[in-house]
Structure 1
Amino acid sequence: MFFYFYQKKVGKKVTEENQSIISFKKVDKVYPNGVHGLRDLNIDIKKGEFVIVVGLSGAGKSTMLRAINRLHEISSGEILIDNQSITKAKGKELRLIRRDIGMIFQSFNLVKRSSVLRNVLTGRVAYHPTWKMLLGLFPKEDKERAYQSLQRVNLAEKVYTRADELSGGQQQRVSIARALTQKPKIILADEPVASLDPVTTEKVMDDLKRINQDFGITIVVNLHSVELARQYGTRIIGLRDGSLVFDGPVAEATDETLRAIYGGEILEEKAQGAIV
């Protein structure tokens, strides 16, 4: 099997802007059945980057993303979030690190019977005592923040609409607003447009790009489409069988790179327009 690895290295003076906010240090993930989800990953993601992770189904994209906020536990190695080890963190320390990481899921993960506003406000639960959240006692400042987040994704008029009355694209934009309301340093998006049509896909990706540019929030997105990766990302990470096979700027994602990430299957899929 042919593998290719490329990693862009540029010598820069260390500043606040180019410090790593996510660091994988020799990370392995082995499932109970012996399958390797991740193999010796060493990756540094800088503050403010818009990174897109690509690869075939089963390549390790979701495993990598969910390991960042410990939705998946790794088998060995260490993951640092803004120089703090989330791998070793426990209790309050873990909660505080996770508070800085917003998450967007393919399936939206909204409470369907609740209003859009109530769903977006759940992005603030980590900031308040549990008993207040159970009673829905969100302060005025949180409600204002939630409304502003809905304005960012052009859904302010849906603030009191039930989530299950929205289209799929609108629900995903509610989940983006929820993540933004959390006031995170990082937003992770796990296949956020997999179930959406092309027009809605563009709207969702545009929202994420604007949030990245306007707020400097680091965004890491898993996608199947290299075309979208080239259009929106500043950097592409390619995984194959849990291993890193490409890590570099979008301009370096050549056809040779795609062969390394997707193997021989890229030829057929490219011809059909499924990937590029």
Structure 2
Amino acid sequence: MTLRLTGVEHIHANGQRSLAGLDLVVEAGERVAIIGPSGAGKTTLLRILATALKPSAGSFELLGVQPWALGGAARQRLRARVALVHQAPPLPPRQRVITAVLAGRLGQWSLVKSLASLLYPLDSVGARAELQRLDLGDKLFVRCDQLSGGQLQRVGIARALYQQPEVLLADEPVSAMDPVLAGHTLGVLTREAQSRGVTLLASLHAVDLAMEHFPRIVGVRDGRIAFDKPADRVTPDDLRALYANEQLGRQDSASPVGKPMVVQIPRC
């Protein structure tokens, strides 16, 4: 068992509840897509799994330990075993791609090695190998501010893969890519996770991509799990209930273009 959430809740500082009594168990090596409408709690869930947020209530076990029962140093070592891919990777604009990718191992390297790598990249071969998987091998020494949004997301994925984590969390990792590139990138991500034995959880707005690339689908709505099923057992009725009223064009704050979100219910 890689992670277990029991009765987990999270209440923001403004009093808004984003997760309510959520239970979830994920075994080692599983590949799980988390889907649901905007504001359902998907990003909050991933941030809790990454130990970036502390649950307001309930229990959380990750890789055999309870993160918030650890001291600061021990929790930091635990975090080095978990990678989080952000929807908008926090990459300094003037940083070169090779430095951004190598930063994936800063939590595992000594301070001296980390500082040395910032001044002179220590593993260009390893960084290039991860970038080539994502068709970015020619961008190794390009500055991040010269890349498109989709290219930045792929750099973020390359950095997570270079980290060699035991758990890989991805928050809308292909939202800035066109459908063909998004499908290709998710294919790379899921294949690499499977071949490396990495536990992968990814939140996705694109239901068709989730159904195509992930064996297990967890639907989240209003901070609760609406369903948790193998992909081939998710029905159109499950999806209609999960996205009820989303077809009405509610503004999707996560959309990079700010357009109303219209959910396409795939045929199962």
* TM range, smaller chain: 0.7 to 0.9
> CA contact under 8 A between 1:186 and 1:218: conserved in structure 2?
yes
Match of 2:143 among 162, 167, 172: 162
Change (3 A) 1:226 1:61: same
Distance 1:62 1:113 in 2: 27
How big is each residue's C-alpha offset from its partner over 1:111-154, in whole Å with a ceiling of 9 and x where there is no partner?
221111111010011122335434526784x4433232223222
Letter in 1 for 2:93: K
Instruction: Tell me by how many angstroms 1:59 deviates.
Output: 0.6
What residue is the counterpart of 1:54 in the other structure?
35
8 Å Cα contact 1:104/1:176 also seen in 2: yes
Comparing both chains, which one has the higher relative contact order based on Cα–Cα distances under 8 Å and sequence gaps of 6 or more? 1
**CA shift in 2, pair 1:32/1:200, >3 Å:** same
Following superposition, the deviation at residue 28 of structure 1 comes to 0.9
Deviation at 1:259, TM superposition (A): 3.0
Find the partner of 1:38 among 12, 19, 22. Answer: 19
**Aligned to 2:69, what secondary structure does the other structure show?**
coil
Which deviates further from its counterpart, 193-202 or 35-44? Answer: 193-202
Alignment-derived partner of residue 182 in structure 2: 201
Matched residue, 1:239:
220
What displacement does 1:180 show? 0.9
- Is 1:78–1:87's contact at 8 Å kept on the other side of the alignment? no
Structure 2: runs of 5 or more not aligned: 251-261
Unaligned runs of 5+ in 1: 1-19
- Structure 1 segments, 4+ long, off by >3 Å, are 129-132, 137-140, 264-269, 272-276
The yes-or-no answer on 1:171 pairing with 2:171 is: no
The aligned runs of 1:119-198 (5 Å cut-off) are 119-130=100-111, 132-135=113-116, 136=118, 140=122, 142-198=123-179
Which TM-score applies when normalising by structure 1? Answer: 0.84
Decide whether the 8 Å contact of 2:219 with 2:227 is kept in 1. yes
Match of 1:99 among 64, 74, 80: 80
Classify the secondary structure of the residue corresponding to 1:230. Answer: helix
Matched-pair identity in %: 37
- Whether 2:61 is the aligned partner of 1:80: answer yes
Please report how far the alpha carbon of residue 168 of structure 1 lies from its aligned counterpart in structure 2 after TM superposition: 2.2
Are the aligned partners of 1:50 and 1:233 in contact in 2 as well (CA < 8 Å)?
yes
User: Are 1:109 and 2:90 matched, yes or no?
Assistant: yes
Change in 2 beyond 3 A, CA 1:195/1:150: closer
Count the aligned residue pairs: 254
Q: Work out the CA distance in 2 between the residues paired with 1:108 and 1:147.
A: 18
* Contact 2:98 2:121 survives alignment (8 Å): no
CA RMSD of aligned residues (A): 2.1
TM-score, reference length from structure 2: 0.87
Deviation at 1:167, TM superposition (A): 2.5
Deviations 1:226-266 (A, max 9, x none): 11111111101111110111011001110221133222446
Task: Give, in whole Å, the separation in 1 of the partners of 2:263 and 2:57.
Answer: 38
Question: What does the per-residue CA deviation read over 1:36-84, in whole Å, with 9 as the maximum and x for residues that have no partner?
Answer: 1111111111111111101111111001011001222210112111111
Alpha-carbon deviation of 1:214?
Answer: 1.8
Change (3 A) 1:138 1:80: farther
Report the counterpart of residue 220 of structure 1 in structure 2: 201
What secondary structure sits across from 1:150 in the alignment? helix
